[in-house]
């Protein structure tokens, strides 16, 4: 059997130096480790941050009427803090579930004269829709999507929103 000499091959590093190759590999590993373990936020500094689970909306009754939440539905995280909003300062908190998709909760109120109690045929009807958008291309947001007085109460009222707070007032 003839003898064929095996040629030796040398693996030359990047830039003809194995030290340069080692430095390059270590640099790449350093970049990977730093990017994995360093906290980086993609949200702008002014973007609201919502805790996982729910976002709360406050509804305040600064009218002379009583409000009673007779129905609510949608993507709620837990029961509202109160179903009855007393006149002149009563309030409730509604908890809208947060998730990777848009969620909303509808609350329906009777607005009634507290001296006479609730008469569903005579009481004012109010519908409030609260909306949560999880973000994506835009920062997440939570807002009152709709406030609708479907049947006016005996005393005229108006409302204003400020962030996640809705306040009803006498006119």
Note if the pTM is more than 0.85: no
Q: What is the pLDDT of residue 39?
A: 59
Q: What is the pLDDT of residue 6?
A: 62
Other C-beta atoms closer than 10 Å to the C-beta of 124 total 21
* Number of domains composing the chain: 2
3 domain-assigned: no
Q: What is the pLDDT of residue 136?
A: 80
49 domain-assigned: no
Same domain, yes or no, for 70 and 36?
Answer: no
Q: What is the pLDDT of residue 10?
A: 57
Same domain, yes or no, for 75 and 97?
Answer: yes
Same domain, yes or no, for 147 and 80?
Answer: yes
pLDDT by 10s per residue, the chain, length 171: 566 666 555 555 455 567 778 888 888 887 787 777 665 555 445 545 555 689 999 999 999 999 999 999 999 999 999 999 999 999 999 999 998 899 999 999 999 999 999 999 999 999 999 999 998 888 899 999 999 999 999 999 999 999 999 999 999
Per DSSP, the residues of 94-138 read EEEE--SS-EEEEEEEEEE-TTT---TTTSEEEEEEEEEE--SSS
Q: What is the pLDDT of residue 109?
A: 98
Same domain, yes or no, for 59 and 116?
Answer: yes
Same domain, yes or no, for 26 and 99?
Answer: no
Angle at 99 (CA atoms; ends 98, 102), nearest 5 degrees: 85
Supply the range of the domain harboring residue 27: 12-41
Nearest Cα neighbor of 48 from 156, 139, 148 is 139
Q: What is the pLDDT of residue 84?
A: 96
């Amino acid at each position: 059997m003839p003898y064929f000499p095996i040629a030796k091959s040398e693996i030359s590093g990047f830039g003809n130096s194995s030290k340069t190759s080692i430095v390059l590999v270590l640099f790449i590993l350093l970049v990977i480790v730093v990017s994995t373990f360093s906290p980086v936020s993609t949200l702008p500094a002014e973007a609201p941050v919502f805790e996982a689970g729910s976002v709360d909306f406050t509804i305040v009754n600064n009218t002379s009427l009583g409000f009673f939440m007779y129905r609510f539905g949608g993507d709620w995280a837990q029961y509202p803090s109160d179903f009855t909003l007393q006149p002149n300062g009563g309030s409730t908190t509604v908890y809208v579930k947060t998730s990777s998709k848009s969620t909303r909760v509808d609350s329906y109120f009777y607005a009634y004269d507290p001296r006479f109690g609730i008469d569903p045929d005579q009481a004012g009807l109010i519908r409030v829709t609260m909306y949560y958008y999880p973000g994506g291309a835009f920062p997440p947001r939570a807002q009152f999507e709709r406030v609708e007085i479907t049947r006016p109460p005996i005393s005229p009222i108006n409302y204003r929103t400020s962030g996640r707070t809705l306040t009803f007032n006498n006119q």
